[in-house]
Amino acid sequence: MAGTRVSLGAAAAEVETLAGGDVTTPEGFRAAGVCCGLKQDALDMALIVSDRPATAAGVFTRNKVKAAPVLYSQSALAGGSARAIICNSSNANACTGDGGMRDAQEMAVLTAEELGLLSAHVLVASTGVIGVPLEMSAIRSGIPKVVKELGPSAKEAAEAILTTDTFAKTAAVRIQTADGAVTIGGIAKGAGMIQPNMATTLCFLTTDAEVSAAVLQSSLAGAIEGSFNRVTVDGDTSTNDCALLLANGASGVGLAQGSDDLALFQQALTEVCIELAKMLVRDGEGATKLVEVTVQGAASEDEARRAAFKIANSPLVKTALYGCQVNWGRVIAAAGNAEVEMREAATRVWFNTHLVADAGMAVEQDLSEATKELEADEVSVRIDLGVGSALATVWTCDLTEDYIRINGSYIS
């Protein structure tokens, strides 16, 4: 358990990163993952349950094409409360028409019946292949199984939501408030079709804080904007993206609007989301390295963000990084194509800590050390546009032959 000190105004507080933490680390939550038969001999159904009433919040894909479970959960969240999240992998239940909506609703009803809850208190998520009807016989047999397996670990649940991912993504933190400790945990999945523009392909979060639905929604939206909305693998936004957050108050700590404790909670929630978001990029399909792209000296934060995404999504930049090439020309060209204000004569570019371009021209130096450092599994690219003081950071990965291989054989 490692602690990281953060400063909030005049006060300082402790945010502890909990090694091995997940959605069952906060008090009053259980989870499970089972194989229901959508995949052959692999976990494909996950369930997260709060043992007591909970407020709920969610953010969803901005793609105009929305999967049935997205539409269903958006509607269910109108009441501001939920007790369970049921999720299947292998099939997205997207572009499946009215039948897909009926299947999403049935998933909620069946889960509610097994748990003794109202179906309105069950949120639904799916991920996998688009355009294929959900195999409901597997869903119907799997829901009783996953309910029976509910327990204090989310290991199987975190694995059951994966598709092309190569590892499960989990995180948790604990904060100390004036009234006691509050814990936040999360699991996520995603490796391709990622520039979420809301959340991640799937992200499920829990907390034992007591928070009103309106405040919880605002906190989640803020955390997502500073984390999942700052990552990209390939520039594509999924039909199924969603992030769901349950707050059950089991800690006995209430967080009021405008309080210092709520500000600390926001900081901690964002940290969990950033950690999960970075895991998505590390696990980008075929990726060999996590790349942090920072644009500074921009006219506005929005322009800095747009330029950063333009660089992060550039196939030429991403392939150069895969090849460990200090090709700053591709970086400056991508920024110049972002339709943002910049002064070429004042532009500077760094690869890690090495200044490789100044005043829009090459810096005469030996680049062997800068090139060597690009062999690491985490690297950074930074550019100063030379027009203002705004900056933004996004995270991406390199582009390899394996990305083509994986997506050339994945039917979606």
Given a cut of 80, is residue 176 above it in pLDDT? yes
Which helix H or strand E contains 258, and what residues bound it?
A: none
Tokens of 212: 């009103």
- Residues 226, 274 within the same domain: yes
How many domains does the structure of the chain reveal?
2
Residues whose CB falls within 8 Å of the CB of residue 41, separated by 6 or more in sequence, listed in order = 35
pLDDT of residue 405: 86
Given a cut of 90, is residue 361 above it in pLDDT? yes
Question: What is the rounded distance in angstroms from the CA atom of residue 33 to the CA atom of residue 31?
Answer: 7
Q: Which of 3-12, 300-309, 372-381 has the lowest mean pLDDT?
A: 3-12
- Residues 397, 258 within the same domain: no
Say which amino acid occupies 164.
T
Which helix H or strand E contains 112, and what residues bound it?
A: helix 97-115
CA within 13 Å, CB half, 404? 5
- Residues 229, 322 within the same domain: no
Question: What is the rounded distance in angstroms from the CA atom of residue 355 to the CA atom of residue 26?
Answer: 44
pLDDT of residue 182: 98
227 neighbors 273 (Cβ within 8 angstroms) = yes
Mean pLDDT over 2-14 rounds to 39
Q: What number of other Cβ atoms are within 10 A of residue 266's Cβ? A: 19
Q: Is residue 171 classed as helix, strand or coil in its secondary structure?
A: strand
- Residues 360, 331 within the same domain: yes
Given a cut of 60, is residue 412 above it in pLDDT? no
pLDDT of residue 233: 84
Tokens of 33: 């993952």
Tens of pLDDT, residues 67-126? 999 999 999 999 999 999 999 999 999 999 999 999 999 999 999 999 999 999 999 999
Which helix H or strand E contains 237, and what residues bound it?
A: none
**Angle, alpha carbons 21-22-25 (nearest 5°):** 70
Tokens of 194: 């990622």
Point out the catalytic residue in the list 200, 207, 237, 400: 200
Tokens of 80: 């501001």
pLDDT of residue 119: 97
**Angle, alpha carbons 258-269-55 (nearest 5°):** 70
Given a cut of 60, is residue 40 above it in pLDDT? yes
Tens of pLDDT, residues 257-315? 999 999 999 999 999 999 999 999 898 888 999 999 999 999 999 999 999 999 999 99
Tens of pLDDT, residues 109-166? 999 999 999 999 999 999 998 999 999 999 999 999 999 999 999 999 999 999 889 9
Q: In the chain, pLDDT over 70 holds for what percent of residues? A: 94
- Residues 238, 374 within the same domain: no
pLDDT of residue 198: 54
- Residues 121, 173 within the same domain: yes
Is residue 170 flagged as an active site residue?
A: no
- Residues 35, 57 within the same domain: yes
Mean pLDDT of the chain: 92
* CA distance between the termini of the chain: 40
- Residues 171, 138 within the same domain: yes
Longest dimension (CA), the chain: 70
Q: Is residue 77 classed as helix, strand or coil in its secondary structure?
A: helix
Question: What is the rounded distance in angstroms from the CA atom of residue 75 to the CA atom of residue 105?
Answer: 11
- What are the beta bridge partners of residue 174? 16, 183
Residue whose token pair is 């506005």: 300
Write the CATH number for 338: 3.10.20.340
Last residue of a domain, one of 266, 282, 298: 282
Mean pLDDT over 319-346 rounds to 97
Give the pLDDT band (50/70/90) at residue 12. Answer: very low
Tens of pLDDT, residues 178-189? 999 999 999 999
pLDDT of residue 8: 35
Give the closest residue to 159 by CA, choosing from 149, 121, 407.
149
Tokens of 229: 């909305």
Q: Which of 199-208, 219-228, 369-378 has the lowest mean pLDDT?
A: 199-208
Write the CATH number for 256: 3.60.70.12
pLDDT of residue 172: 98
Last residue of a domain, one of 214, 248, 282: 282
Residues whose CB falls within 8 Å of the CB of residue 214, separated by 6 or more in sequence, listed in order = 80
Structural domain boundaries, residue 365: 290-408
- Residues 73, 179 within the same domain: yes
Given a cut of 90, is residue 194 above it in pLDDT? no
Give the closest residue to 26 by CA, choosing from 253, 179, 217.
253
- Residues 197, 173 within the same domain: yes
- Residues 235, 298 within the same domain: no
Give the pLDDT band (50/70/90) at residue 318. Answer: very high
Burial class (CB in 10 A: 0-12, 13-18, 19+), 57: buried
Residue whose token pair is 């894909």: 61
Residue whose token pair is 């998505």: 280
Rg of the chain, C-alpha, whole Å = 22
Q: What number of other Cβ atoms are within 10 A of residue 405's Cβ? A: 12
- Residues 70, 46 within the same domain: yes
Q: Which residues of 353-376 are buried (b: 16+ CB within 10 A; e: fewer)?
A: ebebbeebeeeeeebeebeebbee
Given a cut of 50, is residue 6 above it in pLDDT? no
Mean pLDDT over 335-345 rounds to 97
Tokens of 10: 């005049």
pLDDT of residue 1: 32
Tokens of 399: 């582009």
Q: Output 117 or 408, whichever has higher pLDDT.
A: 117
Q: What number of other Cβ atoms are within 10 A of residue 144's Cβ? A: 15
Last residue of a domain, one of 250, 282, 314: 282
pLDDT of residue 14: 78
Question: What is the rounded distance in angstroms from the CA atom of residue 134 to the CA atom of residue 156?
Answer: 22
Burial class (CB in 10 A: 0-12, 13-18, 19+), 258: exposed
